[in-house]
Amino acid sequence: MRVILELLERDAHLSHNTIATMTGLPVEQVAAQVAAWEASGVIRRYTAVVDWDRASADGDDTVTAFIDVSVAPARGVGFDDVALRISRFPEVRSVYLVSGGHDLRCTVTGDGLRAVSDFVAQKLSTIDRVQATATHFVLKAYKRGGVAFVDTEPDHRLPVTP
Amino acid sequence: MRELNGVIAACPPSGIRRFFDIAAEMDDVISLGVGEPDFVTPWRVREAGIYALEHGYTTYTSNAGLPALRRLICADLAQRYGAHYAWDGECLITTGVSEGLDLALRVLLNPGDEVIVPEPCYVAYEPCVRFAGGIPVRVATSWEDDFAVHPAAVAAAVTARTKAVLIGSPANPTGAVQPRASLEALMALAEEHDLYLVSDEIYDRLTYTGAHTCLGALPGARERTVVLGGFSKAHAMTGWRVGWICAPARIAELCVRVHQYTMLCAPHVSQIAAVEALEHAEGDVTAMVADYDRRRRVFVKGLRELGLECPEPAGAFYAFPSIRRSGLDSQTFAERLLHEQRVAVVPGDVFGPSGDGHVRCSYATALPLLEEAVERIGRFLATVA
């Protein structure tokens, strides 16, 4: 069953029919399994991997930053309450509890540098028990979600070979 | 001018070449005619090659090849198939299986020796037998029983001059995998008539319905078998030109002798990259094989839904459908399909007379292109059927 998830993670456009052919499973079973995963939250949603650098050539100036957050943990909840609170903001794309010099690593996107830095200054830093933040603006994305943002290598094969 | 070598002059050029020339001139062609992976060599392997260049590994290696690579190959054969060869003396690195095949035949054959070649088969088998002074003797196989090589048919072709049987499994162009029982019966036949077996196992890792049988691992096989393998297909390394021969010492030693005078050694950089391929690219290989299998299932189903009879291709990355229902012969079918719908396939008869009535379709092609190709073939069939 895991193979269905792997296939969908790579190409969410694959039809149940094609997945059934690829895996040799009955199409009804594929459909039922995918529906069950969608209901239980194993599959959260289907998205596109967007190369925003290319999109910005069309006038879009979405900015992404990684924000490292130091948090004073609290008895009973650790970091969870602060992490949940941060994750509720729609600007926040991801929140992880990490090892190392800081406690939480967040990804934040916004329309321009100003929007992101305002968000950090006014919303993130002011949350109770947030002690420090360090903001790293993304200058260029080379690879995300397993997808390399470079031009694909041309097919150098001859059209007919033995 | 004095005449050139008669054997070579008499050997016709590959029938594949003509299609290449036509297809290369056309735009918007979906090519199912490519006998190599559409994957580029896994990055870690390329990176090892770059590292080797940066650090000046631009010299010859020993004739037999890098010891580290031979050790890895022999360990892999032992662990994967139970075929045991000594890395030092029974294994040599060649510039692809093509050279390995040439070496093996030159070492095994005396002028006039016959080599039984079940067909349809890879286009180089018969010419290589001839270049080595031998005479290829075809044994027909049929798609009705998945191109199985029947020992009785082979036995019927044995004469006093028969020296060897040359077999490729999994096979180009049919995708057929010989069942273990067939290979065992073939081995018994070889013992009975004192024949050598040359086993082209370049597609060994690309099997989808069962495990590959290495001929060198069969009981009694070792002393009379030459196993050929390489990195071109499973590791997507066609252009690196690196393969190997594993054979008993008395054969391997003579292979090295020819190799040392004609090739000297396989490319050093490629051998270093091959070491990386065996040490660290297993995950890449299994991912590529899984991908071929998915495309295989989609493509074969698509062909069958068009009404083409297609034997289940159990290995390699070729489907070899029957085009009987079109009423056309292979050459006409392939030529018209290319001109009318811009899909390049290879007519089956270039792989031997039993291939007529079939075309070879490589599914080492991106899935959307395969789906589009099936649609175009469907449109073509609608105009001829």
Encode pLDDT of B266-325 as tens digits.
Answer: 999 999 999 999 999 999 999 999 999 999 999 999 999 999 999 999 999 999 999 998
Give domain status of residue A162, yes or no.
no
B81-121, pLDDT tens digit by residue? 999 999 999 999 999 999 999 999 999 999 999 999 999 99
Which residue in B38, B40, B124 is closest to A162 by CB distance? B124
* Unique residue bearing structure tokens 């391929």: B277
| pLDDT tens readout for residues B315-334 | 999 999 999 989 999 999 99
What are B246's strand-pairing partners? B91, B227
pLDDT (average), residues A35-42 = 97
pLDDT tens-digit map of B78-90: 999 999 999 999 9
> Domains in chain A: how many in total?
2
- Domains by residue range for chain B, with CATH: 6-41+283-384 (3.90.1150.10), 43-280 (3.40.640.10)
Residues A71, A128 within the same domain: yes
Indicate the DSSP class of residue B133: T
Q: Is the pLDDT of residue B19 over 90?
A: no
Do A34 and A106 lie in one domain? The reply is no
Record: contact B23-A161, CB cut-off 8 A: no
pLDDT at res. B6: 95
Residue whose pair of structure tokens reads 């010891």 in the numeric block: B67
Residue A157 lies inside a defined structural domain of this protein:
no
Residues A59 and A136 in one domain: yes
Residues 23-52 of A with CB under 8 A from B: 23-24
Phi/psi at B148 (5° precision): -65, 140
Burial class (CB in 10 A: 0-12, 13-18, 19+), B51: middle
For residues A58 and A128, membership in a common domain is answered with yes
In this complex, the residue of B34, B124, B298 whose CB is nearest that of residue A157 is: B34
pLDDT (tens digit per residue) in B227-237 = 999 999 999 99
Tokens of B254: 């003579």
- Comparing A5-14, A112-121, A152-161, B109-118, the range with the smallest average pLDDT is A152-161
Same domain membership, residue A101 and residue A66: yes
Residue A45 within a domain: no
pLDDT tops 70 at residue B339: yes
- pTM metric for this prediction: 0.92
Query: For residue B65, which of B280, B273, B264 has the smallest C-alpha distance?
Result: B264
Task: Determine the distance in angstroms separating the CA of A159 from the nearest CA of chain B, rounded to an integer.
Answer: 6
For residue A89, give how far its alpha carbon lies from the nearest alpha carbon of chain B (Å).
38
- Using a CB–CB cutoff of 8 Å, tell me whether B372 touches chain A: no
Nearest CA among B361, B377, B217 for reference residue B295 = B361
Residue A41 has which token pair?
A: 């939250």
Partner-chain residue, chosen from B293, B297, B346, that has the shortest CB–CB distance to A160:
B346
Q: Which of B25, B27, B40 to mutate to test the interface with A (most CBs of A within 10 A)?
A: B40
Q: Is residue A98 part of a domain?
A: yes
Is the pLDDT confidence value at B126 over 70? yes
Q: In the structure, what pLDDT confidence band is assigned to residue A53 with cuts at 50, 70 and 90?
A: confident
Least confident of A131-135, B16-20, B50-54, B370-374: B16-20
Q: Is residue A160 part of a domain?
A: no
Print the domain residue range for A87.
52-140
The pair phi, psi for residue B176, each rounded to 5°, is: -75, 145
A133: in domain: yes
Residue A156 lies in a domain: no
CB contact under 8 A, A159 and B294: no
**N- to C-terminal Cα distance for chain B?**
52
In angstroms, rounded to a whole number, what is the distance separating the alpha carbons of residues B354 and B347? 11
**pLDDT for the residue B16:** 81
Task: Report the alpha-carbon distance of residue B142 to residue B357 in Å, rounded.
Answer: 11
**Residue range A82-127, pLDDT digits in tens:** 999 999 999 999 999 999 999 999 999 999 999 999 999 999 999 9
Partner residue facing B31 (CB), from A21, A159, A162: A159
Looking at beta carbons, which residues of chain A come within 8 Å of B346?
160
- In angstroms, what separates the C-alpha of B363 from chain A's closest C-alpha? 13
How many Å apart are CA B111 and CA B133, to the nearest integer? 5
Kindly state whether residues A74 and A131 are assigned to the same domain.
Answer: yes
Query: Do B197 and B164 touch, CB atoms closer than 8 A?
Result: yes
My answer on whether A33 and A65 are in the same domain is no
Of B14, B24, B29, the CB nearest to A162: B14
Q: What's the CATH number where A69 sits?
A: 3.30.70.920
Same-domain status, A57 and A135 = yes
B172: contact with A, CB 8 A cutoff: yes
DSSP string, B240-271: G--EEEE--HHHHHHHHHHHHHHT-SS-HHHH
Same domain, A60 and A128: yes
Residue B336's pLDDT band, with cuts at 50, 70 and 90, is very high
The shortest C-alpha distance from A146 to chain B (Å) reads: 14
Specify whether A92 is located in the same domain as A18: no
- The residue whose two tokens read 């090589």 is B149
Indicate left, alpha or beta for B114 from its phi (over 0: left) and psi (-120 to 50: alpha): beta
pLDDT recorded at residue A50:
86
Q: DSSP class of residue B10?
A: T
Flag whether A90 is in a domain: yes
pLDDT tens string B196-227: 999 999 999 999 999 999 999 999 899 999 99
Q: Which of B14, B34, B304, B310 is most worth mutating to test chain A (most A CB atoms within 10 A of its CB)?
A: B34
Nearest by CB to B16, from A3, A7, A160: name it.
Answer: A160
Determine the distance in angstroms separating the CA of B71 from the nearest CA of chain A, rounded to an integer. 30
Instruction: Indicate if the pLDDT at residue B344 is higher than 80.
Output: yes
Mean pLDDT, chain B, as a whole number? 96
Closest CA to B67 of B48, B84, B97, B89: B89
* Chain B residue whose CA is closest to A4: B294
How many C-beta atoms surround the C-beta of residue B72 within 10 A?
Answer: 17
CA end-to-end span of chain A: 37
Angle at A100 between CA A98 and CA A102, to 5 degrees: 70
Q: Are the C-beta atoms of B315 and B1 separated by less than 8 Å?
A: no
Q: Are residues A60 and A32 in the same domain?
A: no
What average pLDDT does range A25-33 have in this prediction?
Answer: 97
DSSP assignment letter at A153: P
pLDDT-above-70 percentage for chain B: 100
User: Residue B347 carries which side chain, given as an amino acid letter?
Assistant: P
Q: Are both A23 and A85 inside the same structural domain?
A: no
Going by pLDDT thresholds of 50, 70 and 90, the confidence category of residue A58 is low
Edge-to-edge strands of the sheet including A92-97?
Answer: A92-97, A104-111, A62-71, A130-137
Q: How many CA atoms lie within 13 A of B304 on its CB side?
A: 12
Residue-level pLDDT at B15 = 79
CB contact under 8 A, A162 and B344: no
pLDDT, position A101: 93
